[in-house]
């Protein structure tokens, strides 16, 4: 059982087990139902839903929530190391990149523009929805909630 005398590395082990269990569940759902979404994305959605709908006070932190937070911060702090295999993979496939550069560039530019447009529309919609009930005397975008 984890307590206040548990070291940070001991707290990371249960958090990694939770992360791996969610990823495994996501992979299983992906395989069983032939879903178009990758298994790890499904798993992280399961974890997010579990954290949102847990049965404890929103302000109270459980030991597992605290260890998940610390583990996530540690992973984010060392995220640069996780890109090394992708970089090596790009170098290894330089011949494919040379022969298929145009569709790759078109896909990158198109997806970036689509992401910007969708983000702008969602932001516009959410700001309009948030300010719909406010008085016309308030300055748009400057009020606090």
Q: Confidence band (pLDDT; 50, 70, 90) for 143?
A: low
Q: In the chain, what are the domain boundaries?
A: 1-82, 83-133+140-145
Write down the residue that tokens 């790009």 correspond to.
Answer: 90
Q: What is the pTM of this model?
A: 0.59
15-47 pLDDT, tens digit each: 999 999 999 999 999 999 999 999 999 999 999
User: CB 42: neighbour CB atoms within 10 A?
Assistant: 20
The rounded radius of gyration (Å) of the Cα atoms in the chain is 22
The pLDDT score that the predictor gives to residue 1 is: 47
pLDDT at 105: 95
Is the pLDDT reported for residue 57 higher than 50?
yes
């Amino acid at each position: 059982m984890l307590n206040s005398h548990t070291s940070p590395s001991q707290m990371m082990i249960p958090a990694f087990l939770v992360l791996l269990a969610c990823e495994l569940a996501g992979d299983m759902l992906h395989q069983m139902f032939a879903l178009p979404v990758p298994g790890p994305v499904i798993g992280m959605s399961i974890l997010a839903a579990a954290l949102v709908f847990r049965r404890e006070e929103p302000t109270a932190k459980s030991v597992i929530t605290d260890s998940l937070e610390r583990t996530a911060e540690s992973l984010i702090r060392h995220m640069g190391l996780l890109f090394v295999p992708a970089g090596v993979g790009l170098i290894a496939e330089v011949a494919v990149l040379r022969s298929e550069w145009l569709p790759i560039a078109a896909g990158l530019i198109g997806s970036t523009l689509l992401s910007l447009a969708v983000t702008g529309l969602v932001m516009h919609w959410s700001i309009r929805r948030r300010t719909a009930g406010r008085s016309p005397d308030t300055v748009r975008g400057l009020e606090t909630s």
